Structure 1
Amino acid sequence: MAAFQERVFSGVQPTGNLHLGNYLGAISRFVPLQDQYDCIYCVVDMHAITVPQDPAELKRQIREVTAAFLAAGIDATRHIVFNQSQVSEHAELAWVFNCVARIGWMNRMTQFKEKAGKDRENASLGLYAYPSLMAADILAYRATHVPVGEDQKQHLELTRDIAQKFNNDYAASIAERGFGDAFFPLTEPLIQGPAMRIMSLRDGTKKMSKSDPSDYSRINLTDDADTIAQKIRKAKTDPEPLPSEEKGLEGRPEADNLVGIFAALQGIPRTEVLRQYGGGQFSAFKAALIDLAVDRLGPLGADMKRLVNDPAYIDSVLIDGADRARAIAKPTIDAVKDILGFVRAK
């Protein structure tokens, strides 16, 4: 296969109410990658409109996700931070991929079935074609790596299938234009330790979500210290003390979740958390978790609020990032048009 420059791409939807699950599961994991790769981090606002959005709220949420990126420690000068809709090459390449991907592939995408629910006939075409746009997001930059969670693995496999089919279908044209035996890389998943799945503070069997009607089910990144403390104190537990070994957490989803949150915030193995607090009551453990969460999340939330209150600065970051993203994506699209046989201005 052809050699490709190593590059990471990842995107976060501007869905509002960013919470601890978004931070530990995705955003915090983007930061260390900056020391190993060229990174492109995108606020995927075109994906957001696959379901109805309030325009004013969407704009606020785009800026909030950008603020979270910056507050978490992503360096928008060394790397690229932008919102997807400013770079039209995403949409152009998505259409090409709509013509490469097969209906059968799309029908196997489980996330569409989950998001569309029972009223599938009333779902938008955009929601159905979402994975094709996701492939375009990644391959517009010929990205070699994507940090993925469990719920995105199937979409990355589809991205690889689309890249492979494009490379095969247009092999002669690709070689003729000096790109060797492949124009698009087969993007690899980037696994950073165990998958971080943060569950609801009110029900350890459900994922932490902004759509949960109870605000006590989640810790929002903009929550102040008192709110964080109150939510952790009220977090559901069980009457048993914490075990000293992981097998003691089986069948105890709420305890398991709190131990996982502590381990992730502290950056230590779960076994070490249980070694320190095993055998003790939840009250003492929760007190320690409150101190840790406030220490880690307090500065992040304060920085996010400061940044959100300066929309002109946020917008300048996004515009600069979009300019630099376009400088990479446009040559990709131009080459794709040449490979396909389109006529274009040169």
Structure 2
Amino acid sequence: GILECLFFFGSDLRTPGLMLRYDGHAPEADRMAGGGARLAVLAVAAATFAAGLCGALVTAGPHAALHQTASPTALRPPVHAVLGQGPGLIPRAAPLRAGPSDSRALPHTATHPRVSVGPAAPGPDAAPAPMRGAALAVAGAALVAVLSGLARYLRAPTPAAARHAWQMCGAAADVEAAEGTAATATAPAEPEAARPTRPPRVLSGVQPTGTLTLGNYLGAIKQWVDLQNDPDNTSDSLFCVVDLHAITAPHDPKALAQQTRQAAAVYLAAGLDPEKVTIFVQSHVRAHSELAWLLTCATPMGWMNRMIQFKEKSQKLGEDVSLGLYSYPVLMAADILLYQTDLVPVGSDQTQHIELTRDVARRFNQQYAKKMKKITKKSRVFREPKAMIVKEGARVMSLLDGTSKMSKSAENDNSRINLLDPPNVIRNKFKRCKTDSFVGMEWDNPERPECTNLLTIYSAVTGKSKEEVMEECKDMNWGTFKPLVADAVIAHLEPIQTRYEEIMAQPEYLDSVLAAGAAKANEIAERTLKDAYAAMGYLARPEAE
């Protein structure tokens, strides 16, 4: 009963004293599982309560003296002599006799169907008070569990929302499973007809600093294009150039604007269609900065101290590390929450940011939205997003170190393949990339990370499966395999580079795409920002004429 009580309160209120945290997908399913699971838990709690109450009544009732004798041998026969005298039964005249370990005997009345026993002096083994206290404690804890569980059951979402939650938890990377809306833990039950029916929303972006690399393309942009072109995809996708994140580290102000335009052009050249998805620049939607400040003031510093990527990046920057780099996970949370995002395509190394975003949303909803329901007419401001893990093989490592991620900010340009590198440069970089002395090609050998990296690149750009690649390349040496990978990368990037040059030659077209995307993004973002301001108690802005 106590554990059930802690489960109900800890998972709902998230108070510091009862912080029963369940990260990942399973807790969301628990919070939204609906009637069946809650009724089962309530039944168990009710049974526990009944058992505890009966135990309390028995230990505190008129037969408590049975528990006060010196030892079990002191009653002979306890059942026949005392409890066996029910109404309508022939009274048993056999008196109770004290056992050899005790000289005392219980009084017995043979003419009455029940023996009236007065309180006896407790023997050395007697413990009636602890037994009654334990039984009452179990009953009380179970009663609290029943009441708290009943409250949660009354607030449970509809069965349709529960089914949707289980689908989302079972396959976070499956966009089709995200149809409908994912209610948060703090959202009350709503009539089915009142729920919005918009498709699930997807949001992602890439920083424009430096030239985008093959790693950016295979790990992010190509994944977006595949999602866009999936015939079963019903999502509403937004992809932005996150230029606000670009200034968390030292950057070149003269190059930032041009790099932003280049990144947007790469989005289009890679295959993103502005008729199907929304493409915009982060700083063109001012709500990103405003919401980031509101969330910064509502997020504990301890959460920031646990972020792994800040520790890694700050070591590289040394004295140049900024407060913006420290708090940029909150800006990332604002980016996601601003659009009521359902799914965020990320790599396995970025799931910590999504968990932080969920925590920030949950805390904000609990602290502000529920208290301001009369003003906002809503019990939540933000949805809690889920991570959509990109498919295996999308992570590309450095050409000079197979254990480090390919980065556009690395000092040595030979460590990466830039998307706009000409063919001869690409060939030279692969020719100089790090190799080993092993014979043949093999995948997933921890002693050969560079071999695994090049096999991964070759598989990604050719579309061949892991088995097909191994069958083709297992007996090759490095002198044969590296040119094969270089030619495959050149062939894959050639149409992208051609389309990129065409887009950059039409600045009006690029500007129109970004302007239309910013307008649509602003429309969504302003609604969320307005609710966030209202929940925190700000004076409403005058309506624009």
Q: For 1:172, what is the secondary structure of its paired residue?
A: coil
Mapped partners of 1:331, 1:255: distance in 2: 49
Which amino acid is 2:214 matched to? L
How far apart are 1:325 and its partner, in Å? 0.5
Aligned to 1:215: 413
2:244 is paired with a residue whose SS is helix
The answer as to whether partners of 1:200 and 1:208 remain within 8 angstroms in 2 is yes
Give the counterpart of 2:504 among 305, 308, 324: 308
- What's the counterpart of residue 199 of structure 1? 397
SS state of the match for residue 161, structure 1?
Answer: helix
Q: Does 1:140 align with 2:338?
A: yes
- Say which one has the larger Rg: 2
Q: How does 1:87-98 map to 2 (within 5 A)?
A: 87-98=285-296
CA distance in 2, matches of 1:281, 1:121: 45
Shift in Å, 1:119: 6.7
Structure 2 distance, partners of 1:120, 1:212, is 15
Match of 1:271 in 2: 467
Distance 2:458 2:534 in 1: 52
The alignment status of 1:288 with 2:487, answered yes or no, reads no
Aligned to 1:83: 281
| Structure 2 counterpart of 1:19 | 213
In 2, the alpha carbon distance for the partners of 1:206 and 1:196 equals 14
Q: Give the SS at the match of 1:246.
A: coil
SS at match of 1:70: helix
Deviation (angstroms), 1:314: 2.2
Q: CA deviation at 1:120?
A: 6.1
The aligned counterpart of 1:32 is 226
What's the CA shift for 1:160? 0.4
Rounded Cα–Cα distance in structure 2 between residues aligned with 1:125 and 1:58:
20
Higher alpha-carbon deviation: 201-210 or 321-330: 201-210
Q: Please report how far the alpha carbon of residue 225 of structure 1 lies from its aligned counterpart in structure 2 after TM superposition.
A: 2.0
Mapped contact 2:381–2:528 kept (Cα < 8 A)? no
Q: How does 1:207-246 map to 2 (within 5 A)?
A: 207-243=405-441, 246=443
Q: Identity percentage over the alignment?
A: 45
Contact kept? 2:393, 2:460, Cα under 8 Å: no
Instruction: Output the CA distance in 1 between the equivalents of 2:203 and 2:484.
Output: 36
Q: Which residue of 2 aligns with 1:66?
A: 264
1:155 equivalent among 332, 337, 353? 353
Task: Check conservation: 1:150, 1:195, Cα contact below 8 A.
Answer: no
Which is worse superposed, 118-127 or 46-55? 118-127
Question: Which residues in structure 2 correspond to 1:116-131 (within 5 Å)?
Answer: 116-117=314-315, 123-131=321-329
The 1-side partners of 2:316 and 2:466 are apart by 38
SS of 1:9 mapped into structure 2: strand
Aligned pair 1:338/2:534, yes or no?
Answer: yes
SS where residue 147 of structure 1 aligns? strand
Contact conserved, 1:38 with 1:79, CA < 8 A, in 2? yes
- Comparing both chains, which one has the higher relative contact order based on Cα–Cα distances under 8 Å and sequence gaps of 6 or more? 1
Q: 2: CA distance between counterparts of 1:314 and 1:125? A: 33
Offset, 1:234: 2.8
Decide whether the 8 Å contact of 2:365 with 2:382 is kept in 1.
Answer: yes
Q: Separation in 2 of the partners of 1:260 and 1:198?
A: 7
**Equivalent pair of 2:343/2:385 in contact (CA under 8 Å):** yes
Q: 1:329 pairs with 514, 525, 531, which one? A: 525
> What secondary structure sits across from 1:51 in the alignment?
coil
Shift of 1:122: 5.2
TM-score computed with the length of structure 1 as normaliser: 0.92
- Report the Cα distance in structure 1 between the residues aligned to 2:521 and 2:241, rounded to whole angstroms: 12
Q: Deviations over 1:8-44 (max 9, x none)?
A: 0111111112111111111111112224211110111
User: 2:209–2:251: 8 Å Cα contact kept in structure 1?
Assistant: no
Q: Comparing 93-102 with 48-57, which one deviates more in the overlay?
A: 48-57
Measured at CA, do residues 231 and 120 of structure 1 come closer, stay the same or move farther in structure 2, by a change above 3 Å?
Answer: closer
C-alpha separation between the residues in 2 aligned to 1:116 and 1:315?
35
Preserved CA contact (<8 Å) 2:402 2:453? yes
SS at structure 1 position matched to 2:371: helix
The one-letter code of the counterpart of 1:268 is: K
- AA paired with 2:514? L
Structure 1, 266-275 or 9-18: larger mean CA deviation: 266-275
- Residues in 1 aligned to 2:242 and 2:260: alpha-carbon distance in whole angstroms: 8
- In structure 2, distance between residues paired with 1:255 and 1:175: 60
Distance apart, 1:118 and its partner CA? 7.1
CA distance in 1, matches of 2:393, 2:344: 14
SS of the residue corresponding to residue 41 of structure 1 reads strand
- Letter of the 1:338 counterpart: A
> Which 5+ residue runs of structure 2 have no aligned equivalent?
1-182, 188-194
Contact 1:241/1:278, CA 8 A, preserved across alignment: no
Q: What is the RMSD of the two structures over their aligned residues, measured on CA atoms?
A: 2.1
1:214, CA displacement in angstroms?
Answer: 3.1
More moved, 227-236 vs 154-163: 227-236
Gaps of 5+ in 1: none
